[in-house]
């Protein structure tokens, strides 16, 4: 006898309720809606339920059930991924039933180990919560980007996220010293020991970083921490040409050891974000030029090293420089909010860009 899809759905939802509890199986249209469309609003698809496990064991139970019953899983963290991979596919491209496995309940944050400079975090912890937790202990996180309030540890690992500090500390892949994840058959793999040289079996952090949810559901990770720097200086430079920008960045990388972040911004992107914010950029790039946003951070004031370096290079047309925190925030929003401005823009054609260098 052929069963109706709705019977299968109801049976599956009952099974999920047994595993994660009734409150964490969302089936009503209005409760599922936010999980079925991505941050850009361009990608959407329906799921039979949103299921929110709060442990690796519960995630394993959900994944095992789906595996045995032919139900697709879309793992979702903060849903900020921009490319549609965090939401179900539309019914015309995927007729199979699917669930969204949301990681929002995997929000455990362990004690900060300031000797090993590591912390264990659940996959659903946001980048902002990871950073606040580290800063409360007097240290800092090596990865940061504008979607920090929603984007999660699991999502950042799955996408190998970058952000403004890539230049100094690398992408998310370089920060994962241990991982716990659930494979498609429900097996829990990995280790959270935090050993830098883990030589037992597959190195799961390497396998799973950048895997976009295609190989496993990440449930927790052991992550590196970095020193918190007391002094930061931010400079928004206008550069005459892209070639000059590349030369200048090379010089800064060689000569300024406190260089912490660098973002290259096209003039078109700056115009877009300025219009979106209804603000003028404090400095304006000459025609054919571009912008470089630079952060230097250290335990002693890095200002003189940065100022000396930028006064000795050619190609800089103008600069706005500050060490004052509110003024830094003012400058940084011209980078941080470009993605938001692009999303809000109604223009069609090739979008402008900014690049974490």
- Contacting residues for 270 by C-beta, under 8 A, at least 6 apart: 281, 285, 291, 334
Return the residue of 60, 64, 76, 234 that touches ligand FAD, per CB under 6 A: 76
Considering the complex, what minimum distance in angstroms separates the CB of residue 350 from ligand FAD? 19
Considering the complex, what minimum distance in angstroms separates the CB of residue 109 from ligand FAD? 15
Each as own residue / partner, the long-range contacts of residues 106-113 (CB below 8 Å, 24 or more positions apart, any chain) are 106/53, 106/54, 106/55, 106/59, 106/154, 106/219, 106/220, 108/220, 109/133, 112/136, 112/137, 112/139, 112/225, 113/194
Q: How far apart are alpha carbons 318 and 285 in whole angstroms?
A: 8
Should residue 154 be labelled a site residue for ligand FAD when binding is judged by CB under 6 A? yes
Q: How far apart are alpha carbons 345 and 182 in whole angstroms?
A: 39
Considering the complex, what minimum distance in angstroms separates the CB of residue 4 from ligand FAD? 29
Should residue 156 be labelled a site residue for ligand FAD when binding is judged by CB under 6 A? yes
If the CB atoms of residues 38 and 198 are measured against ligand FAD, the closer one turns out to be 38
Considering the complex, what minimum distance in angstroms separates the CB of residue 301 from ligand FAD? 27
Q: What are phi and psi of 276, to 5 degrees?
A: -65, -40
Binding characters for ligand FAD, 315-354, by CB under 6 A (x = yes): ------------------------xx--------------
Return the residue of 49, 56, 158, 296 that touches ligand FAD, per CB under 6 A: 158
If the CB atoms of residues 76 and 238 are measured against ligand FAD, the closer one turns out to be 76
If the CB atoms of residues 155 and 315 are measured against ligand FAD, the closer one turns out to be 155
Contact 69, 12 (CB under 8 A): yes
Report strand pairing: 49-51 vs 98-102: parallel
Should residue 78 be labelled a site residue for ligand FAD when binding is judged by CB under 6 A? yes
Please give the helix or strand (H or E) that residue 293 lies within, else none. Answer: strand 290-298
Residues that bind ligand FAD (CB under 6 A): 39, 74-82, 85-86, 103, 123, 145-147, 150-152, 154-156, 158-159, 161-163, 212-213, 217-218, 339-340, 356
């Amino acid at each position: 006898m052929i069963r109706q899809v709705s019977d299968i759905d109801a049976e599956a939802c009952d099974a999920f309720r047994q595993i994660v509890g009734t409150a964490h199986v969302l089936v009503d249209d209005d409760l599922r809606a936010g999980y079925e469309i991505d941050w850009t609003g361009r990608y959407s698809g329906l799921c039979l339920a949103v299921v929110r496990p709060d442990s690796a064991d519960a995630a394993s139970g959900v994944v095992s059930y789906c595996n045995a019953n032919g139900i697709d899983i879309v793992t979702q963290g903060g849903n900020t991924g921009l490319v549609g991979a965090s939401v179900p596919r539309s019914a015309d491209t995927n007729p199979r039933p699917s669930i969204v496995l949301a990681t929002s309940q995997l929000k455990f944050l362990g004690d900060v180990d300031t000797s090993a400079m590591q912390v264990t975090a659940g996959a659903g912890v946001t980048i902002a919560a990871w950073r606040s937790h580290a800063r409360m202990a007097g240290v800092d996180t090596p990865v940061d980007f504008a979607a920090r309030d929603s984007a999660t540890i699991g999502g950042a690992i799955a996408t190998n996220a970058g952000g403004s500090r890539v230049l100094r500390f690398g992408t998310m892949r370089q920060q994962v010293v241990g991982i716990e994840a659930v494979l498609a058959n429900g097996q829990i793999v990995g280790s959270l020991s935090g050993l830098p040289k883990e030589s037992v079996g597959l190195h799961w952090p390497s396998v799973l970083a950048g895997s976009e949810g295609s190989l496993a559901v990440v449930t927790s990770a052991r992550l590196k921490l970095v020193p918190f720097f007391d002094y930061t200086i931010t400079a928004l430079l206008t550069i005459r040409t892209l070639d000059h920008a590349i030369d200048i960045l090379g010089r800064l990388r060689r000569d300024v050891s406190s260089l912490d972040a660098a973002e290259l911004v096209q003039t078109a992107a700056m115009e877009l974000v300025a219009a979106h914010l209804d603000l003028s950029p404090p400095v304006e790039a000459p025609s054919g030029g571009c912008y470089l946003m630079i952060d230097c951070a250290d335990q002693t004031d890095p200002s003189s090293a940065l100022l000396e370096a930028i006064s000795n290079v050619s190609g800089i047309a103008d600069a706005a420089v500050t060490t004052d925190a509110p003024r830094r925030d003012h400058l940084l929003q011209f980078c941080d909010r470009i993605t938001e401005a692009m999303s809000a823009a109604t223009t069609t054609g090739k979008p402008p860009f900014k690049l974490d260098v």
